[in-house]
Amino acid sequence: MTANAPIAGVSEWRSPFPEIRAGTLGVRLAIGAQEIDAVQALRYRVFYQEMGASPSAEAAASARDQDAFDAVADHLIVVDHAIGSGPDSIVATYRLVQADAAAKLGGFYSADEYDISNLEHFQGRILELGRSCVDAGYRGRAAMQMLWRGIAAYIFHHRIDLMFGCASLPGIDPDAIALELSYLYYNHLAPPAIRPRALPHRYIEMRRIDPEAIDPRRALGLLPPLIKGYLRLGGFVGDGAVIDAQFNTTDVAVVVKTDLVTDKYYRHYERQLRDALE
């Protein structure tokens, strides 16, 4: 993987870039098993206790959301220094998996929902993003902006050329989110060369409303902040949605070529990272 590979079966990360601060909030990579445990506890609270995901018996007993990818991933975290600097201060997280890390487990997490073979053969460094969540008390713009800053720093440090992952819309009734799905398909479909497609047995048609009947402003307003963030970065969606009954969500594949990142993010965060390293 990177220099942050797990040691002797226990994940012990060292951040490749300094913590980036804005007010009391900071963003960096998780360090050590205690912080990873806090990340998994935060994910459990958000996904299972708030969003209605169905935990396995093991997850319910431990009150942790965890899987095999956690041991090979880098975990981006936002901490609030007003309440401390260790595990108890973690208020947001995003899981980052590079190709060599995914290879240790036989492939990426997204491959369970999408055919991503064209992404896996992409000529450049690729990064899978997933398991994003923000504590209920920090759902304003600040925490999500810090996550994007951390992602930008990570991209610059590791020279990532393309990032992708599954992003979720609430609920498992595609007709209830027909406007959002149709808008994404007709306005943000990825070019064929980098377009994931939902696996045949999981494929849900996104074209649910006539394109002439779509109100773009209303559709954008209904999209979750994370998906809107990807779109602002020049992101695309794949072909087909996927129902994730366990997590009570409808997923779409999102792809971002980092050379398409808008000037608003790219230049701003590149400058911030450079200043932090000087």
How far apart, in whole angstroms, are the C-alpha atoms of residue 216 and residue 183? 7
CA 139 to the chain's CA centroid: 16
Looking only at the bridges linking them, the beta strands covering 242-244 and 249-257 are: antiparallel
pLDDT band at 67 (very low <50, low <70, confident <90, very high): very high
For the cut 90, the answer to whether the pLDDT of residue 267 exceeds it is: no
Q: Specify the pLDDT at position 12.
A: 42
Q: Specify the pLDDT at position 85.
A: 78
How far apart, in whole angstroms, are the C-alpha atoms of residue 25 and residue 142? 8
For the cut 80, the answer to whether the pLDDT of residue 15 exceeds it is: no
Residue 208 C-beta-side C-alpha neighbours within 13 Å: 18
Mean pLDDT of all residues in 50-60: 94
Q: Specify the pLDDT at position 26.
A: 95
- The CATH number of the domain covering residues in 95-277: 3.40.630
In the chain, the percentage of residues whose pLDDT exceeds 90 is 77
Q: Which range among 5-14, 49-58, 79-88, 126-135 shows the weakest confidence by mean pLDDT?
A: 5-14
Query: What does DSSP assign to residue 168?
Result: E
Query: What angle separates helix 141-158 from helix 263-277, to the nearest 10 degrees?
Result: 70
In the chain, the percentage of residues whose pLDDT exceeds 70 is 87
Query: What does DSSP assign to residue 49?
Result: I
Contacts of 8 (CB under 8 A, 6+ apart): none
Q: Specify the pLDDT at position 7.
A: 29
Q: Could you give the 3-state DSSP secondary structure of residue 270?
A: helix
Contact, 25 vs 77, CB < 8 A?
A: no
pLDDT in tens, 239-252: 999 999 999 999 99
Q: Which range among 97-111, 171-185, 221-235 shows the weakest confidence by mean pLDDT?
A: 221-235
Looking only at the bridges linking them, the beta strands covering 249-257 and 162-170 are: antiparallel
How far apart, in whole angstroms, are the C-alpha atoms of residue 58 and residue 184? 36
pLDDT band at 153 (very low <50, low <70, confident <90, very high): confident
Q: Specify the pLDDT at position 152.
A: 86
For the cut 60, the answer to whether the pLDDT of residue 209 exceeds it is: yes
Q: Could you give the 3-state DSSP secondary structure of residue 94?
A: strand
Q: Specify the pLDDT at position 141.
A: 83
Q: Which range among 131-135, 169-173, 232-236 shows the weakest confidence by mean pLDDT?
A: 232-236
For the cut 90, the answer to whether the pLDDT of residue 274 exceeds it is: no
pLDDT band at 73 (very low <50, low <70, confident <90, very high): very high
Q: Specify the pLDDT at position 277.
A: 46
The domain ranges of the chain are 95-277
- Both tokens assigned to 244: 């994730």
For the cut 70, the answer to whether the pLDDT of residue 136 exceeds it is: yes
- Residue 118 CB coordination number (10 Å): 15
Sign of the Cα pseudo-torsion (205, 206, 212, 214, in order) = positive
- What is the Rg, in whole angstroms, of the alpha carbon atoms belonging to the chain? 18
For the cut 90, the answer to whether the pLDDT of residue 268 exceeds it is: no
Considering 136-150, 195-209, 224-238, 261-275, the range whose residues carry the highest mean pLDDT is 195-209
Q: Specify the pLDDT at position 44.
A: 97
Tell me which residue of 184, 93, 81 sits closest to 147, measured CA to CA: 93
Phi then psi for residue 127, to 5 deg, are: -140, 130
- Both tokens assigned to 62: 């431990």
Residue 96 C-beta-side C-alpha neighbours within 13 Å: 30
How far apart, in whole angstroms, are the C-alpha atoms of residue 39 and residue 11? 13
What separation, in Å, do the N-terminal and C-terminal C-alpha atoms of the chain show?
26
